[in-house]
Amino acid sequence: MTNPRVYSGARVYIRKGRTGGIPEGEKPPPVVEIGDAPVLTLALRREMFELVVLGQKFQETKPNTDYWRSRLKDKGWEYVQFRNGQGRKAPRVMVKVKRIYFDPNRKGGGLWILEWSEVVGTENWDAVPGE
């Protein structure tokens, strides 16, 4: 299956009427538009990426550095696009942001916490859970 080119997460596979990840044995649905909503793009390793797709991971933490503070503080992100790789055909998963906040009581001077409520869709992800 060929996928359209992605610009800042503008096209993703949308899963309607479900929360969590893609159910066992189900392939990603067709591609649709999500509009011009602000999308934060982050890279994840394969194991963590799979957990997000399966709906088993709903939180990501980042250290309290100037870099992460400038990317996360008061930016109004609506979606996070996780990538597994750098290439044009790298697998991507889009999640709906629940909240992004700073927790000063976590290790090393605090952590930035990204929480999401559901997997909105995937792209370039042909793996079927359970196979």
Instruction: Tell me what pLDDT residue 98 has.
Output: 93
Distance of alpha carbon 96 from alpha carbon 9, whole angstroms: 12
Q: What is the pTM of this model?
A: 0.69
Instruction: Tell me what pLDDT residue 123 has.
Output: 85
Instruction: Tell me what pLDDT residue 3 has.
Output: 36
Please check whether residue 42 lies inside any domain of the structure.
yes
Please check whether residue 2 lies inside any domain of the structure.
no
Distance of alpha carbon 38 from alpha carbon 40, whole angstroms: 7
Please check whether residue 70 lies inside any domain of the structure.
yes
Please check whether residue 6 lies inside any domain of the structure.
no
Instruction: Tell me what pLDDT residue 36 has.
Output: 72
Neighbouring-strand partners of residue 41: 81
The DSSP symbol for 16 reads: T
CATH assignment of the domain containing 119: 2.30.130.30
Instruction: Tell me what pLDDT residue 127 has.
Output: 60
What total number of domains does the chain contain? 1
Please check whether residue 80 lies inside any domain of the structure.
yes
Length of the chain, in residues: 131
The boundaries of the domain holding residue 71 are 11-123
What is 18-82 written as a DSSP string?
--SSPPTTPPP--EEE--S--EEEEE--HHHHHHHHTT---EEEEE--HHHHHHHTT----EEEE
The DSSP symbol for 126 reads: -
Could you tell me the end-to-end alpha-carbon distance of the chain, in angstroms, rounded to an integer?
19
Which tokens in the block code for residue 131? 């196979």
The rounded average pLDDT for each run of 10 residues, N- to C-terminus, in the chain (131 residues) is 37 42 56 67 90 89 91 88 87 91 86 90 69 46
Please check whether residue 113 lies inside any domain of the structure.
yes
The DSSP symbol for 93 reads: E
